[in-house]
Homo-oligomer: A and B are copies of this chain.
Amino acid sequence: MSHARQFLEPGPVVLLTTRHAGNDNVMTLGWHQVLDFSPSVISCVVSRGCRSFDMLRASGQCVLNVPTSEMLDAVVRVDNCSGEEIDKFAAFGIEREEADDVDAPVLPQCHARLECRLRDDRAVERYNLFILEVTRIRARRSPKQPEFLHYAGDGVFMLSGKRVSRRKLFRPEMLGF
């Protein structure tokens, strides 16, 4: 589970999926961070106006799906409409499957899928901040260096660029994911 860091720490936009009372929803989420890696704890901000806010709070579970640049248009379209007006899965060609551990849809078109349970909702009232524990990760083996999306503001996305290693400058205990 500590590998969650590998996918979330560089700051990619993710697709948050939830299920509650027979409804599935998906939202675009850029505000998340790693809080710990053993166990793997993640926090994320979900706006109070979003349908996903109520669904996550009520169900206590979700999936963080990490899309690559091929899904850019779907990511933006999901972000600019509401699940109350439209079936976002059908409208934007987003496939879904059942998760292993949680009752929420997983998006197989995404490179990585992190199943999460709500661990702590004490900061929800003040900051809309949900603290999640990752219970399962599934990721594709290839490509080795997927092009993830990072939101740079004002409608512009930054794609993951070149990778450079500085392993030799790290103390051995600081390496790993």
Residues of A within 8 A of B (CB): 3, 5-6, 9-12, 30-36, 41, 43-45, 69, 72-73, 76-77, 79-80, 120, 123, 126-129, 131, 147, 150-171, 174-177
Contact = CB atoms under 8 A, between A and B. Distances in A.
Given A33-B43, A34-B45, A35-B129, A165 B176 contact: no
Contacts of A177: 153-154
Contacts of A162: 158-159, 161
Contact of A33 (B33, B41, B72, B171): B33
Given A151-B10, A154-B175, A160 B161 contact: yes
Contacts of A33: 31-33, 43-45
Nearest to A45: B35
Given A41-B127, A73-B169, A164 B175 contact: no
